[in-house]
Amino acid sequence: MPIITVPLENDLFAFVEEEIREGNAETKTQVIRQALRRLREERAFNRLREAESDIREGRLIQGDLRALIDKLPE
Protein backbone atom coordinates (compact mmCIF):
# COMPACT_ATOMS: atom_id res chain seq x y z
CA MET A 1 0.00 0.00 0.00
CA PRO A 2 1.46 3.38 -0.97
CA ILE A 3 2.19 5.88 1.79
CA ILE A 4 1.71 9.64 1.47
CA THR A 5 3.12 12.19 3.88
CA VAL A 6 1.03 15.36 4.04
CA PRO A 7 1.79 18.43 6.13
CA LEU A 8 -1.37 19.76 7.80
CA GLU A 9 -2.24 23.18 9.09
CA ASN A 10 -2.69 23.31 12.87
CA ASP A 11 -6.47 23.51 12.67
CA LEU A 12 -6.70 20.41 10.47
CA PHE A 13 -4.30 18.50 12.70
CA ALA A 14 -6.40 19.47 15.73
CA PHE A 15 -9.51 18.25 13.91
CA VAL A 16 -7.86 14.87 13.23
CA GLU A 17 -6.96 14.53 16.90
CA GLU A 18 -10.48 15.58 17.93
CA GLU A 19 -12.00 12.89 15.71
CA ILE A 20 -9.88 10.30 17.50
CA ARG A 21 -10.68 11.70 20.96
CA GLU A 22 -14.41 11.62 20.18
CA GLY A 23 -14.19 8.02 19.04
CA ASN A 24 -15.03 8.68 15.40
CA ALA A 25 -11.79 6.96 14.37
CA GLU A 26 -9.08 4.95 16.05
CA THR A 27 -6.08 6.38 14.21
CA LYS A 28 -4.98 9.41 12.22
CA THR A 29 -4.84 7.19 9.17
CA GLN A 30 -8.50 6.26 9.63
CA VAL A 31 -9.50 9.91 9.84
CA ILE A 32 -7.70 10.74 6.60
CA ARG A 33 -9.10 7.68 4.81
CA GLN A 34 -12.62 8.54 5.97
CA ALA A 35 -12.19 12.09 4.73
CA LEU A 36 -10.94 10.95 1.33
CA ARG A 37 -13.78 8.45 0.97
CA ARG A 38 -16.27 11.16 1.88
CA LEU A 39 -14.75 13.49 -0.72
CA ARG A 40 -14.96 10.75 -3.35
CA GLU A 41 -18.62 10.09 -2.46
CA GLU A 42 -19.41 13.81 -2.52
CA ARG A 43 -17.89 14.21 -5.97
CA ALA A 44 -19.79 11.18 -7.29
CA PHE A 45 -23.02 12.57 -5.83
CA ASN A 46 -22.37 15.95 -7.47
CA ARG A 47 -21.79 14.25 -10.84
CA LEU A 48 -25.13 12.47 -10.44
CA ARG A 49 -26.88 15.75 -9.61
CA GLU A 50 -25.33 17.36 -12.70
CA ALA A 51 -26.47 14.43 -14.83
CA GLU A 52 -30.02 14.71 -13.47
CA SER A 53 -29.96 18.43 -14.22
CA ASP A 54 -28.74 17.74 -17.76
CA ILE A 55 -31.61 15.29 -18.26
CA ARG A 56 -34.19 17.76 -16.91
CA GLU A 57 -32.81 20.56 -19.09
CA GLY A 58 -32.66 18.38 -22.19
CA ARG A 59 -28.86 18.44 -22.45
CA LEU A 60 -28.52 14.87 -23.66
CA ILE A 61 -26.24 13.13 -26.08
CA GLN A 62 -27.94 10.35 -27.95
CA GLY A 63 -26.48 7.67 -30.12
CA ASP A 64 -24.23 4.66 -30.02
CA LEU A 65 -22.09 4.86 -26.89
CA ARG A 66 -19.02 3.31 -28.54
CA ALA A 67 -19.21 5.73 -31.46
CA LEU A 68 -19.59 8.67 -29.08
CA ILE A 69 -16.59 7.54 -27.00
CA ASP A 70 -14.49 7.27 -30.17
CA LYS A 71 -15.28 10.93 -30.92
CA LEU A 72 -14.04 12.16 -27.50
CA PRO A 73 -10.62 13.82 -27.40
CA GLU A 74 -7.96 11.81 -25.65
Query: Would you say 12 and 28 are in contact if contact means Cβ atoms under 8 Å apart?
Result: no
Q: What is the pLDDT along the chain (74 residues), one digit of tens a residue?
A: 999 999 999 999 999 999 999 999 999 999 999 999 999 999 999 999 999 998 888 887 777 888 878 888 87
Give the separation between CA 15 and CA 12, rounded to whole angstroms.
5
DSSP letter assigned to residue 2? -
Cα–Cα distance measured from residue 52 to residue 44, given in angstroms and rounded to the nearest whole number: 12
With contact defined as beta carbons under 8 Å apart, do 68 and 61 qualify?
Answer: yes
pLDDT at 71: 81
Query: Which pTM was predicted?
Result: 0.72
Q: Is 70 helix (H, G, I), strand (E, B) or coil?
A: helix
CB 31 within 8 A of CB 19: yes
